[in-house]
Chain A
Amino acid sequence: MGFEEKVKKNKNTIYVPDIARITRIEYLSPTEKVFKIVFDDEEIKNKFEFKPGQFVELTVFGLGEAPFSIVSNPTNKDFFKLCIRNVGNISSALHRMVEGTKIGIRGPFGNGYFPCQKMKNHNVLLIAGGLGIAPLMSLIRYILHYREDYKEIMVVYGAVNPGSILFKNEIQYWSNRGDISLCLSVDNPDNKWTGEIGVCTKLIPRVDFPSNDTYITVCGPPIMYRYVIDELEKKKFKPENIYLSLERRMECGVGKCNHCHIGDKLVCVDGPVFNLWEIRNLKEAL
């Protein structure tokens, strides 16, 4: 029978989290915090490797589990970081937590991630809306780590207002570096704001990267995608070079509960990052 040879003996089933500690909590904005997480078990810590765009399932014992994408640089092996917005049961419990609290982690998950290897020797355009900057952070940090392997890098980032711009210090540091161009835009400026105003899609027509030599990554709220894609297609970027990170309800993270499905794909195992070619005919995706 077919199923038998596939069965291997694991110590734990796919549903058992490993225990980890929140070792630092950074305040980003009134609604977002960054959590630095370290596994208790040395062996698990050493085995844990992830690619930009992947996510973990985080358990708050007594409450439940939720998926969060990793924001830290994949080259850091001792810890990883999650940027969490206070919106649900789990995230608000996390926001009440103090450093040192123990949690459970499963993952990293996602066979679809940002192809940072393929992007080498090409231009990279990164487009983020709101909290969408979080999954891209890991990629940006990786690229900056190996900066000389890549051509031009540009980040287009739109937020609701200046106060809701995340990772301000790091963004400041990027603009000082000079080897990464930056377009910030807010919907509702305050009187100190000197940058762009309006949705970040407006900035895309100004991008002058050649269409055959550019990788694009997009992450943002569901409504943003359609507009961004329209603009990108006008510029004749290739669909197979446009990578989108999608969000759906997740329960298991391992392709079993089916909640995350979009058309014929599962976000947790086939994604969460898809290229536009893959999801073009998934009418539900965007």
Chain B
Amino acid sequence: MLYKVLDKGVYRDFVKALISEYEFIGPKKKDKSEHDFVLIKDISELDTNYMRTTIPPAKKILFPPNEQLVAYELGENINVRSVVESSKKILFGINAWDINGMNFLDEFFTTDFIDENYISKRKKLIVIGMDSEPTETNFSPSIGAEYAKDGFDIYLTELKNRYFVRIATPKGNEILEKYTKVNDAIAEDFKEYNKYMDNYRMKFKMSVDIKSFYDDFESIYDNGDFWKKIAKDCYSCGSCNLVCPTCFCFNVKDDIELNLKNGKKIREWDSCMIPEYGLVAGGHNFRPDKENRLKKRYRCKLKTFIDKFGKYACVGCGRCIEACLAKINIAEDINLVKKEVSI
């Protein structure tokens, strides 16, 4: 990691240069409540002062909701080939918890088998991070995701008249050298950065007691009444999954054209909260009840990947809480599990 500072006076020119040189994806205001990460053509569209995004930016780019995997052509011989799309992009203004969410996906898509469709896009993505305002439902400090230690090329933190710049990769350094001018950070800069981070962490209102969840969860696992109560209002609508920066479930579909010759396989986001998720050919459903599905989601988010990667598959962004019309709240439920087990 290199530590530099960037003068606010040259910041706009730096960003402008990147917009003109690269396919530049950044936050843009969408409506009164949300921003969306889209292709930015002019700096006036860019609004890094954002709070809510429906779909996490990295997931949207690297693991899009619909993606072709395979193309085939039927005939005397069958031709099949892989379809992998990737192009060089800058992802600008992504915040720390979403970077951590992306780090999770990076690890996930390269474990056991390597998912080229994801990783070839990832390899070409230049990530420039920046803090954003947390929503009231954000509990990322409890998970340790309010700060990103890797996964980005450059991370900009806004101080009084300059940006504190953390450079994690040679690529990031190159870009800074090419398009602007930075100076080495000195003790004074570190001091102000440190104070900024303390203040920033104070902005997070929600916190969860997750330390003992790993074991507590098993202790409460068979308590049917507890889970029924929690899941009572669940619509099984899957919104919580689809907006999650670490949710990766998908279906694979075969799509043949009406000429019955050319076809493709595509994947599309799926959700473990809908009844069809556990349905096998022949009609047996392995997870027919919504409380079981909710329990399964919590297990996957908060336990499974502790065993696999030593990480939570949750970064505490609070999107699922905001998306849930039934007001099912993972943060409250974590605390509830703790309470239930300790009395």
Contacts and interface: CB of A to CB of B under 8 A. Distances in A.
Nearest to B278: A249
Interface in A246-274: 247-249, 251-252, 254-259, 261, 263-264, 269
Interface of A: 1-4, 6-8, 10, 12-17, 19, 59-66, 85, 87-91, 102, 104, 222, 247-249, 251-252, 254-259, 261, 263-264, 269, 281, 283-284
Contacts of A283: 221-222
Given A1-B151, A2-B107, A247 B252 contact: no
Given A61-B72, A255-B111, A261 B123 contact: no
A3 B281 contact: no
Contacts of B278: 248-249, 259
A54 to B, nearest CB: 15
Contact of A3 (B81, B119, B254): B119
Interface in B232-276: 248-254, 256, 260, 263, 265, 267, 270, 272
B4 to A, nearest CB: 20
Contacts of B78: 19, 61, 102, 104
Contact of B115 (A88, A91, A251, A256): A256
20 contacts: A1-B169, A3-B110, A3-B122, A15-B82, A15-B265, A60-B254, A61-B256, A62-B74, A66-B281, A90-B281, A248-B286, A249-B280, A252-B252, A255-B113, A257-B251, A259-B249, A263-B299, A264-B304, A269-B113, A284-B287
A64 B254 contact: yes
Given A2-B107, A251-B252, A14 B116 contact: yes
Contact of A7 (B119, B252, B254, B303): B119
Given A14-B113, A259-B249, 10 more contacts: A6-B110, A13-B84, A89-B281, A252-B250, A254-B112, A258-B248, A259-B270, A264-B299, A264-B303, A284-B287
Interface of B: 69-70, 72, 74, 77-78, 80-82, 84, 106-117, 119, 122-123, 150-151, 168-169, 218, 221-222, 248-254, 256, 260, 263, 265, 267, 270, 272, 277-284, 286-287, 292, 296, 299-300, 303-304, 307-308
A201 B250 CA distance: 37
Given A14-B114, A61-B256, A257 B270 contact: yes
Contacts of A284: 286-287, 292, 296
B241 to A, nearest CB: 10
The DSSP consensus for interface residues of chain A is: loop
Given A10-B114, A257-B250, A264-B307, A249 B300 contact: no
Contact of A256 (B109, B253, B260): B109
Contact of A62 (B263, B283, B307, B308): B263
A165 B267 CA distance: 38
Nearest to A19: B78
A87 B248 CA distance: 28
A206 B243 CA distance: 55
B82 A16 contact: yes
Contacts of A257: 248-252, 267, 270
A93 B114 CA distance: 31
A90 B254 CA distance: 11
Nearest to B115: A256
A60 B277 CA distance: 22
Contacts of B119: 3, 7
A91 B110 contact: no
A193 B37 CA distance: 69
Given A104-B78, A251-B252, A259-B249, A14 B115 contact: yes
A85 B270 CA distance: 27
A2 B106 contact: yes
A254 B284 contact: no
Q: Which of B110, B113, B267 has the most CB of A within 10 A?
A: B113
Q: Which of A16, A59, A248 has the most CB of B within 10 A?
A: A16
Contacts of B307: 264
Contact of B281 (A6, A13, A88, A263): A88
B281 A91 contact: yes
A131 B277 CA distance: 23
